[in-house]
A and B are shown apart, each in its own frame.
Chain A
Amino acid sequence: MNRRHVKTAVMLGSLVTLALSSAATGQSTIKIWTSDVVADRQRLMKLNGASWADAQAKLKAGNAEAVAVNAETMALIATQIVGLFPEGSLTDKSKAKPEIWQKWPEFEAAVKNYAMQADKLRDAARSKDLAATEAVAKEFGRQACGSCHTPFRVPPPQQQAPAPPQQLQPR
């Protein structure tokens, strides 16, 4: 009888605390995205592509320093990617490969690598060294985008996968 009371009390305490703590986190977890995670991540990745295109246009114009803002934007975006690929979010509108969820640690590592490459590009741009920035940019399409897109994204129909590193024109 006594034991049963204690057990009930433990469970009751747990439930109340869980309810309270989830209410508290519900309050502080601010909703960022819409209910359509595929649309959300496509919007995010489009900004990624546009930032990369902007960086390339600036490099062509010889303005290395101005690339820093785009590279930092990409580095900040990178922190959002993994959270936008929950299990079971593969729809017919998505170009994601099921390999993402089969090889999740490799997917996470590819995103991490992308963030590090973006950091590298940003730091080179901040040093105002055009040659150094161009050197990072030259490899960026293959090493940053490609290392995730090649294994984990269905290639667009008009474009061969993997894209050779020379193909760095803005789309």
Chain B
Amino acid sequence: MEFRTVRAGIVLGSLVALVVAGCATGQKSTMGTGDPVADRQRLMKNVGANWADIQNKVKAGNPEGVAVNAEAIGLHAQRIPGLFPEGSLTDKSKAKPDIWQKWPEFTAAAKNLENRAGTLRDQAVAKDAAAVTTTVATFGRDACGTCHTPFRVPPPQQPAAPRS
């Protein structure tokens, strides 16, 4: 009898603590909409749009102008791992389950994007047009591809990247 009471007490205490902890952490995450798939798709769309802007500027002979876009990609890249909580794989998501099976590799790939975006930003700030052009030429493969190839289901119209 006493055991049962003690057990009930432990369960009760746990529940109260969970609610309190849940409220505390819930308050912190006011930044997103609560839908991590929608949030990360919005973020990644802006990463893609900044990348498109970079390519347009280089084509238009304005490699120095890409600094702002590279910095945007670098700051967005920091937010990527936090937008992939465990269990956030819905039918609307193009994420592969490999993300959570190889989490350290996934976070390393996001960090790689941040680092390469930082390199590109620094080259643009230094007004080194040749360096910017070189980095941009391999950015799709070395920055986007190193994460999209292992961790994203390829879009249907586009064949999967041939290289590993």
Which residues of A pack against B, CB within 8 Å? Answer: 2, 5-18, 21-22, 25, 28-30, 32-33, 43-44, 46-47, 50-51, 53-54, 57, 66, 68-70, 72-73, 76-77, 79-80, 82-83
Contact B25–A25 (Cβ < 8 Å): yes
Contact A2–B46 (Cβ < 8 Å): no
On chain B, the number of residues with a Cβ less than 8 Å from chain A's Cβ atoms is 45
Contact B5–A13 (Cβ < 8 Å): no
Rounded to whole Å, the gap between the CB of A61 and the closest CB of chain B is 10
Contacts of B14 in A (CB 8 A): 13-14, 16-17
Identify 8 new A-B residue pairs, CB closer than 8 A, beyond the known A21-B22, A28-B85, A72-B46. A13-B12, A13-B17, A15-B17, A21-B18, A72-B45, A73-B50, A76-B46, A82-B30
Contacts of A51 in B (CB 8 A): 68, 72
**Complex Cα–Cα for A29 and B16 (A):** 22
Contacts of A80 in B (CB 8 A): 31
Quick check: is B82 within 8 A (CB to CB) of the other chain? yes
Q: A9 is contacted by which of B13, B32, B71 (Cβ under 8 Å)?
A: B13
Which residues of B pack against A, CB within 8 Å? Answer: 2, 5-14, 16-18, 20-22, 25, 30-32, 42-43, 45-46, 49-50, 52-53, 56, 65, 67-69, 71-72, 75-76, 78-79, 81-82, 85-86, 107
**Complex Cα–Cα for A33 and B114 (A):** 13
Contact A11–B25 (Cβ < 8 Å): no
Contacts of A13 in B (CB 8 A): 9-14, 17
Contact B7–A9 (Cβ < 8 Å): yes
Contact B49–A9 (Cβ < 8 Å): no
Contacts of A25 in B (CB 8 A): 21, 25
Contacts of B52 in A (CB 8 A): 69
Contact B71–A50 (Cβ < 8 Å): yes
**Complex Cα–Cα for A54 and B69 (A):** 9
Contact A14–B82 (Cβ < 8 Å): no
Contacts of A82 in B (CB 8 A): 30
Contacts of A15 in B (CB 8 A): 17
23 pairs from A and B in contact (CB 8 Å cutoff): A6-B5, A6-B8, A8-B9, A9-B13, A10-B13, A11-B13, A12-B13, A14-B13, A15-B17, A17-B14, A18-B20, A21-B18, A21-B22, A28-B82, A30-B82, A50-B67, A51-B68, A54-B65, A66-B56, A69-B53, A73-B72, A76-B43, A83-B31
Contact A32–B79 (Cβ < 8 Å): yes
**Complex Cα–Cα for A68 and B71 (A):** 17
Rounded to whole Å, the gap between the CB of A162 and the closest CB of chain B is 25
Contacts of B82 in A (CB 8 A): 28-30, 32
Contact A69–B65 (Cβ < 8 Å): no
Rounded to whole Å, the gap between the CB of A116 and the closest CB of chain B is 15
Contact A9–B10 (Cβ < 8 Å): yes
The 7 A-B pairs at the shortest CB distance, nearest first, are namely A13-B13, A9-B9, A13-B10, A10-B13, A14-B13, A14-B17, A69-B49
